[in-house]
Structure 1
Amino acid sequence: MKSMSKIVAILMVPLVLLGCKKEEPIVITSTDYQNAVDKVTEIMVHDIFSPPVASRIYAYPNIAAYEIIAQNNPSYQSLAGQIKHLSPIPTTDNKNVNYPLAALIAHMDVSKTVIFSEEMMERYSDSLYNTWKGQNEAVFNASKEYGLQVADHIKSWMDGDNYKQTRTMPKFTIITEEPSRWQPTPPSYMDGIEPHWNKIRPFVLDSASQFKPVPPPAFSLEKESDFYKELEEVYTISEEITKEGEESEGLKIAQFWDCNPYVSVTRGHLMFATKKITPGAHWMGIAEIACKNTESSFEDTVYAYTKTSIALFDGFISCWDEKYRSNLIRPETLINQHIDENWKPILQTPPFPEYSSGHSVVSGASATVLTDIFGDNFKFLDDTELPYGLPVRSFSSFKAAAQEAAISRMYGGIHYRAAVENGINQGVQVGNLVNEKLKMKVE
């Protein structure tokens, strides 16, 4: 009987050891956060969101994550009270909460709310949940509970930004009787996108029109007028680039910064779309590159992403306010009517008024914020467009990248010079306001 008892005891040892499995710490890195944002970008490309709406999709999840970091790290200050109508997030005294984990969970949960393909985000988050739960169930459960609590707080605040109301507002009215007014362009002749975006609640702007740019040159088809000279310049540059062919630097720049989420392609009787990232996604990609190059911590990565996404969000509000106020006609329409009826721009003209240039505004805003975070003369290789078949480009600074992004729109044949140059200035003003108004990191 004694020997039988020994055998039973020996057999029980592995079971006891299995039952007492040592739980691992859950380590959340900057790469984990970057991967989550990349997943959101992937889903946005799949779902096809307009550039203004895409900026909203980036901003709120990043703010949710940042607020959790600021809750537990004295190096960061909460945005509550700094941006409009945001109240302090809930607190927790649960010692099992892993704050970076909770921040990432909050980011993914808010992201799921603002995209269409929720199931794609759920599959991604569920796979991570299973891993974390297996590492340390108590920490995972506590962190998830807190992360979702904060996510609900941010979503409640987000619901007051007028986005839902703008979904039911009337379409933009086309005024064909006035030759200076915007008209839909080939090949899809789509309606004007987001004509009511200036009604979205901004984060730091006092109003959508706070940085209203100087007006574009007065519309005129007189050949000596400033406006007509800018129109001719677009046509001349396009013709030169086309003659140079694939080796044209202007062509490479235009294609690199195209960032049109929906390009219509017609072949015979078929029409289909090619999908790309938005200009906001490109700048979020540059923020990721900067974080990787500096080996930024998880907290610093969340901070950089959040500040950049805030600049993008308010930049689009500022730009779209001007677009539908000036309501200026695109070069393609006028060139076809008055210069060359067979001319096509190098890039497909996007479906909204011309002035000011969206790329210019949000590039100026993003570059200004990123320069404040990482410093001037920050050299980097931009590989953001590799997934879309475009090569890496090198930049000496964020500002240099913004200048190239802006001029790319004229090379592409879709903007006049005034929209590019005044758009950059408009964006820089937005970025400066974000830098001055938001006290986020304690140095």
Structure 2
Amino acid sequence: MLLGMNRVLVLVLAVVFAVVGATPAVGSPHRRADVVAEWFDVTAATVAAAGAPTQSTNSRTWAIAWLAAARAAHDLPAAQRDRADAAVASAAHTALVALAPAREAELDAALRTTLSRLSPGGQRDLGVADGVREAGALLAEREGDGLDPASVNAPFEVPAPAPGVWQPTPPSLTPPQQAGNRRARPFLLDRADRFRLAPPPALGSPRDQADLAEVRAYGSADSAARTAAQTGTAQFWLQGSLVGYTQPLRAALDATGGSPARRAALIAAFHVILVDTQIATSDTKYAYLRWRPVTAIRATADPQWTPLHATPAHPDYPSGHTTYSGAAEVVLTAFTGPSARRPFTTTSPTAPGVTRTYRRWAELTQDNVDARVWSGIHTRTADEAGVVLGQRVARFGLSRFDSLLD
């Protein structure tokens, strides 16, 4: 098998060098381009244009591309900056071409741009070889990990109706989604249920009643209690978490100094840990199968109650948005401290034309907790429990992340 992999490596290198060789070096000795930021933006554009329909699959794309880049540049001395830059670009390029082949032309052009600024031969060519090798090895390592769209949305039998038990929600009554995530192979977790949460509040308990009363009042489509500002927060964070955190992660990258390897490791750690967080979230969701607020409120209080936003097709407890936020906050804090270097502005595809400015990572977490209540699609307990789960997975992942670089 090793001989076969070596032959593939030689063939891929031949293609890469053919692409690179067409463009002469034009580097400037006075100002070096930020290759990690450049390929962060290339990755974001690639996933936006040719991403999968499932978020965890797209998180996997980011994780593979950037773990390969971090491995390829790992332990290179500062004097070999051309090699490190070439390794980062080549690893990301190789992984992204494999995972988003429809973007091959754009990716080839981006690689030519990056490598044209480096001196030909020598360190540049060694870096290209490093990147191709690490990406190829990681792609092989992650083959069949259960994070493809069909596996993520593997069929799951709807449970029999009963108080507290999840059922498909209106208006679409879509079958359960993302149940297969809990069967996927994590990057760092040893098992999906390592941090499974304690059960949600008992039906009819004071906490359960308070949760449903809050969602009923503040999360209804025609709420008189919800303010315009709260509605705006709900609308802004209706976007998917991967999309919503791409701009904050870019701000963290801008605030992170050090070598290309260290900055690539930030991106890799973020997405590796967020893949594992989504696996852990699915485990707890499908362990307890807690009904959504729309089902609970219609069954116990108001048969006509309608949430502000349509409810996603998976159980309430915990909120996937807030597990993502909790994990992201821990990872970003580990690399930059509790805030970015300067305030940053974010946008949202679910709130066109609206911008929000943040600095502290905890502000993003709090907005996600509130947004899902004000959207009428999660209880506050599910949101707050999600933050805890995400934080636990992230701390565990950070403590073991270096093992992925060896």
Q: TM-score category by the smaller chain?
A: 0.7 to 0.9
Q: What's the counterpart of residue 107 of structure 1?
A: 92
User: Is residue 373 of structure 2 the alignment partner of residue 410 of structure 1?
Assistant: yes
Residue 324 of structure 2: aligned partner: 362
Task: Report whether the alignment pairs 1:32 with 2:38.
Answer: yes
1:217 lines up with 2:217 in the alignment: no
1:274-423 alignment runs, 5 A limit: 278-293=240-255, 298-378=260-340, 381-386=343-348, 389-423=352-386
Which residue identity is paired with 2:223?
T
Paired AA for residue 72 in structure 2: I
SS in 2 for 1:393: strand
User: Structure 2 vs 1, CA of residues 236 and 132 (structure 1 numbering), >3 Å: closer, same or farther?
Assistant: closer
How far apart, in 1, do the equivalents of 2:254 and 2:310 lie?
33
Task: Say if 2:146 and 2:181, in contact at 8 Å, map to a contact too.
Answer: no
In the TM superposition, what are the counterparts of 1:1-400 in structure 2 within 5 Å?
Answer: 23-25=25-27, 28-29=33-34, 30-43=36-49, 47=51, 49-73=53-77, 98-115=83-100, 118-119=101-102, 121-131=103-113, 138=121, 143-163=127-147, 167=151, 171-220=155-204, 225-239=206-220, 242-243=223-224, 248-259=228-239, 278-293=240-255, 298-378=260-340, 381-386=343-348, 389-400=352-363
CA distance in 1, matches of 2:261, 2:152: 38
Could you tell me whether the CA contact under 8 Å between 2:54 and 2:152 is conserved in 1?
no
Shift of 1:394: 3.2
* Distance in 1, Cα, partners of 2:331 & 2:57: 20
SS of the residue 1:383 aligns to = strand
List per-residue Cα deviations over 1:263-284 (Å, max 9, x = no partner). Answer: xxxxxxxxxxxxxxx2023223
Local SS of the residue matching 2:357 = strand
Q: Give the secondary-structure state (helix, strand or coil) at the position aligned to 1:242.
A: coil
The answer to whether the 8 Å contact 2:237/2:348 transfers is no
Deviation per CA, 1:207-262: give whole Å up to 9, x if none: 11111112101234xxx6542332222111225983367x6221121112112xxx
Shift of 1:186: 2.6
One-letter code aligned to 1:317: I
> What is the DSSP-based 3-state SS (H/G/I as helix, E as strand, rest coil) of the residue aligned with 1:215?
coil
Measure the CA separation in 1 of the matches of 2:378 and 2:365. 16
Identity %: 23
For 1:148 and 1:160, the matched residues in 2 are separated by 20
User: How far apart are residue 145 of structure 1 and its match?
Assistant: 4.0
Q: Taking structure 1 as reference, are residues 74 and 215 closer, same or farther at Cα in structure 2, changes over 3 Å only?
A: farther
Change in 2 beyond 3 A, CA 1:42/1:166: closer
Quote the RMSD (CA, aligned, Å).
3.3
CA distance 1:165–1:242, change in 2 (3 Å): closer
Contact 2:256/2:263, CA 8 A, preserved across alignment = no
State how many pairs are aligned: 376
Separation in structure 1 between the aligned mates of residue 299 and residue 154 of structure 2, nearest angstrom: 29
SS in 1 for 2:74: helix
How far apart in 2 are the matches of 1:411 and 1:436?
35
Contact 2:212–2:293 under 8 Å retained in 1: yes
Task: Give the whole-Å Cα distance in 1 for the aligned partners of 2:214 and 2:152.
Answer: 39
Note the C-alpha offset of 1:333. Answer: 2.1
Unaligned residue ranges in structure 1 (runs of 5+) = 1-20, 76-94, 260-277
Alignment partners' CA distance in 1, 2:193 and 2:187: 13
Higher alpha-carbon Rg: 1
Deviation at 1:66, TM superposition (A): 0.6
1:315-346 alpha-carbon deviations (Å, 9 max, x no partner): 11111100111111111223234433433222
Q: Contact 1:28–1:100 (CA<8 Å) still a contact in 2?
A: no
Q: Distance between the aligned counterparts of 2:221 and 2:308, measured in 1?
A: 11
Partner Cα distance (2:70, 2:219) in 1: 44
